[in-house]
Structure 1
Amino acid sequence: MPLVLIPGYMLDDALWDGMLPFLPAALPLHFASLAEGDSIAAMAQAVLAHCPPQFSLLGFSMGGYVAREVVRLAPGRVQSLALVATSSRADLPLQVEQRSKAARARPIGTFRGLGRAAIAQSLHPDNSANEALLTQVRLMGERLGREVFVRQSLIVREADTGRLPDIRCPTLVVAAAQDQLRRAEEARELADGIPGAKLVTVPDAGHLIPLEQPQALASILTVIFR
């Protein structure tokens, strides 16, 4: 069964590079992009337009919101689902304000991706000064560019907790033990809300599980993606 991978905010295909060697060699992979669309629904429609007829689906962070919308748009096509480091909660007003302010700020010089402090907050404390990881994340944002940064920053994530029971495919929720952006109870809400969903927590990882613990994540995913 093909696996469609949806990245998160200002991330591209490179998010999965460390995980690929640990996935089954025969597993067909499709790399989705969030470079199109000015809402979660529009992103989901853009992703779905490039998906195979039947597929498994993984959504990371903002990609988790998009993945759930894909399931709602095409429930008969998604055979299994993994939601990694994500939530069903709405953005807080302060989060909306901060991202909107950054998006509307007057451009100064060449766009170089996300700032160091923002990236560091997404990492395990032990990795907050890891130059290789910091650079890898910054370069993903730089490749996507300022236009995508503005568009993604202005997207408001709305709560869909009440609609979680509508998801009927086998679902795995993956959380990070040291995630500074998404709390453990948010992962538990997802797992409790989706019928039959399982919850697994990855130790020694911050929000960016695919970069920090790629082998552990790949091992967990083989439970649901075969």
Structure 2
Amino acid sequence: MAEPLVLLPEMMCDARVWATQLTVLSYERPVTMAPVAAGDRIEEIASGLLSVLPSKFALCGHGMGGAVALELVRRAPERVVRLALVGTNPLSDTPQEAADREPRIVGAKAGRLAAVLEEDVLPRFVGPGPQRGAVMAELQEMALSLGADVFARQERAMQRRRDQQATLRRITQPTLVLAGAEDKVVPLKRQEFLAELIPYAEMRVLEGIGHMAMLEAPEGTTEALFAWMRQPLVLR
């Protein structure tokens, strides 16, 4: 049987964000979505996941899920047989980026999560295409269902995440870097930098798409993941 695939979502997202991929990719292999909300640090989240994930698995992370995926690879490279990173920033927060999270955390804890999402988060997450309004509405629904405590915890975890450049240079697994050309959360140049640090990584860019590739371009995202899953494994 083909190796199981584990999907890790962006912050404030649940299984709904991967609905198309969960359905289509499961035709050929076991596919599961693992949450990234159980911990105050990326390292804590990764440690908890390693205790419940299969002994070997393919791994695809998006955004915060990509940060967790890199930590899983750093800790247990022998368990990850292939890796896909979607809209992933491999660097730690700059001082300005860390500071920018503080008013969002304060606002969410003060009962203004909906306003924080509408004004400061979701507009950056979705590209300018015709699906923008529908995707933002779906993201808002997911985020509000998860709540302010999860938002604050995930913002803190991302604020404290480590720089993973050294991890990238050690990756030998078949790796896909999938980017939206209009990503405002992790700009294309940052994702190109990530791909350049991974030996033999393949990069694919979805034109006209923002940060939420799996919702904005579900068919293109699924096709890219199918091709990645069918690549031969690199011998260690």
> Does the pair score TM above 0.5?
yes
- Of 174, 182, 188 in structure 1, the residue corresponding to residue 192 of structure 2 is 188
Instruction: State the Cα RMSD in Å.
Output: 2.0
Q: 1:127 to 1:119 in 2, by over 3 A?
A: farther
Q: Tell me if the contact between 1:112 and 1:139 (Cα under 8 Å) persists in the aligned partners.
A: no
Deviations 1:52-83 (A, max 9, x none): 11100001011111101101211111100000
Distance 1:143 1:199, change over 3 A: same
Overall identity of the aligned pairs, in %: 33
Contact persistence 2:25–2:31 (CA under 8 A): no
Runs of 4+, deviation exceeding 6 Å: none
Q: Is the 8 A contact 2:183 2:210 kept in 1?
A: yes
Give TM-score scaled by structure 2 length.
0.88
Classify the secondary structure of the residue corresponding to 2:84.
Answer: strand
CA contact (8 A) 2:176 2:204 kept: yes
Deviations 1:140-178 (A, max 9, x none): 111211211111111223322133112221111111111
| Contact 2:213–2:221, Cα closer than 8 Å, also in 1 | yes
Q: Does 1:133 align with 2:135?
A: yes
Q: What TM-score does the superposition give when structure 1 sets the normalisation length?
A: 0.91
> Which residue type is aligned with residue 210 of structure 2?
G
Offset, 1:116: 1.7
The 8 Å contact of residues 6 and 58 in structure 1, kept in 2 or not, is answered as yes
Judge conservation of contact 1:178–1:205 (CA < 8 Å) in 2: yes
Question: 5+ residue gaps in structure 2?
Answer: 231-236
Unpaired runs of at least 5, structure 1: none
Q: Secondary structure at the match of 2:98?
A: helix
Match of 1:173 among 172, 177, 181: 177
The answer to whether the 8 Å contact 1:113/1:139 transfers is no
1:10-159 alignment runs, 5 A limit: 10-23=12-25, 25-105=27-107, 107-109=109-111, 111-112=113-114, 115-117=117-119, 118-127=121-130, 130=133, 132-155=134-157, 156=159, 157-159=161-163
Is residue 113–residue 141 contact of structure 1 (8 Å, CA) maintained in 2? no
Please tell me whether the aligned partners of residues 114 and 141 of structure 1 are also in contact (alpha carbons under 8 angstroms). no
Structure with larger RCO (C-alpha < 8 A, sep 6+): 1
Query: CA 1:113–1:216 in structure 2 vs 1: closer, same or farther (change >3 Å)?
Result: farther
Pairs aligned (count):
225
- Which sits farther off after the overlay, 90-99 or 195-204? 90-99
Which moves more between the two structures, 158-167 or 204-213? Answer: 158-167
Does the aligned pair in 2 maintain the 1:55–1:77 contact within 8 Å?
yes
| Cα pair distance change 1:54/1:146, threshold 3 Å | same
Residues 79-112 of structure 1, C-alpha deviation per residue, up to 9 Å, x if partnerless? 0000001121221222211212221347444854
